[in-house]
Amino acid sequence: MKQKIKPKVAFFDLAGCEGDQLQIANLEEKILDLLNLVEVVSFREVMKEHSDDYDIAFIEGSATNDHAEERLKEIRKNADIVVAIGACATIGGVNSIRNKQNHEEVGERVYGDNAELSELYISWEKAKPVDAVIKVDYKIHGCPIDRDEFLHVVESLVVGRVPNIPDYPVCVECKLNENVCAFEREEFCVGPVTRAGCDACCVNEGTRCWGCRGLIDNPNEEAHMEVLEEYGLTPEDVMKEFDLYFTWQKEARENE
């Protein structure tokens, strides 16, 4: 029987916690199925071998310096499809909290008087998502990514289909889970403006939505108005109140 040619995939990481690549290890037995679908040619976290000949590149982490920019341009040149995985790569993640802080103070808080000691410490004033530097074809959101969504994207790309990534707010999934609304519990929640696809996993575990999958494409039109109206809020109120994950997106949208 003739063996079908498997697409070659590679994994890369910039500034991040590598928790998204960890979700691939966390597929457990399903990793073996994944290996039947694709050929992994580069994955520094788990293998010594490396090749620049790949079709699909998965990139985790934010770009924070010139070196990252060079690496990204090289990856874009080599890959047919570039997929950003995880909040740091898709929307800047918690890294972008510092984008609003004074850059000099940021360096001093971490390295004290030695902030100038090494050129390795040099970082851009802003941490950026991957698509601020190179063209990105698909994004797998979340902090960390959802394992099943990752598998869905890989399976789609292998057969040449466009993966299905939700563009409706987390409230929709949260309601289906019959959670007590965070606002009713007097907590602040960004579920009404945050992209779904996580099954409201944080609220299910007793907390609130923190916004890690980023803003939906058009919060003013697509926000979960029912919840907002009930508590006398607008999408702007929500976005203004809480910006753990939205710093880069809000700035980019203001500049549009």
**197 is a site residue for another protein (CB under 8 A):** no
Q: Which of 48, 135, 159, 254 binds another protein (CB under 8 A)?
A: 48
Distance separating alpha carbons of residues 155 and 110, to the nearest angstrom? 42
Note whether 14 and 40 are within 8 A (CB): no
Residue 222 token pair: 């697509």
**252 is a site residue for another protein (CB under 8 A):** no
Residue 250 CB contacts under 8 Å (≥ 6 apart), including other chains: 215, 239, 243
By CB atoms closer than 10 A (0-12, 13-18, 19+), residue 153 is buried
**40 is a site residue for another protein (CB under 8 A):** yes
Q: Which of 2, 32, 53, 232 binds another protein (CB under 8 A)?
A: 32
**234 is a site residue for another protein (CB under 8 A):** no
**176 is a site residue for another protein (CB under 8 A):** no
Q: Whole-number minimum distance, CB 171 to another protein, in Å?
A: 16
Q: What is the per-residue binding string for another protein in 116-145, x denoting contact by CB under 8 A?
A: -xx-xx-x-------------------xx-
Q: Distance of CA 60 to CAs 15, 25, 26, 72, 155, Å?
A: 8, 15, 16, 11, 19
By C-beta, is 207 or 220 nearer to another protein?
207
Distance separating alpha carbons of residues 146 and 201, to the nearest angstrom? 10
Q: Distance of CA 65 to CAs 218, 233, 247, Å?
A: 30, 38, 18
| Dihedral of alpha carbons 88, 91, 96, 97, sign | negative
Residue 110 token pair: 């971490």
**20 is a site residue for another protein (CB under 8 A):** yes
By C-beta, is 205 or 221 nearer to another protein?
205
Q: What is the per-residue binding string for another protein in 77-96, x denoting contact by CB under 8 A?
A: ----------------xxx-
| Total interface residues for another protein by CB under 8 A | 61
Q: Which of 33, 52, 73, 109 binds another protein (CB under 8 A)?
A: 109
Q: Which region, judged by CB under 8 A, interacts with another protein, from 51-59, 77-85, 112-120, 223-231? A: 112-120
Could you please report the per-residue DSSP string of 4-20?
PPPPEEEEEE-BS-SHH
Q: Which region, judged by CB under 8 A, interacts with another protein, from 101-109, 153-161, 215-223, 227-235? A: 101-109
- Torsion, CA 171, CA 190, CA 251, CA 162, rounded to 10: -30
By C-beta, is 144 or 169 nearer to another protein?
144
Q: Which residues bind another protein (CB under 8 A)?
A: 13-23, 25-26, 28-29, 31-32, 35, 40, 43-50, 64-65, 67-68, 93-95, 97-98, 101, 105-107, 109-111, 114, 117-118, 120-121, 123, 143-144, 180, 185, 201-202, 204-207, 210, 244
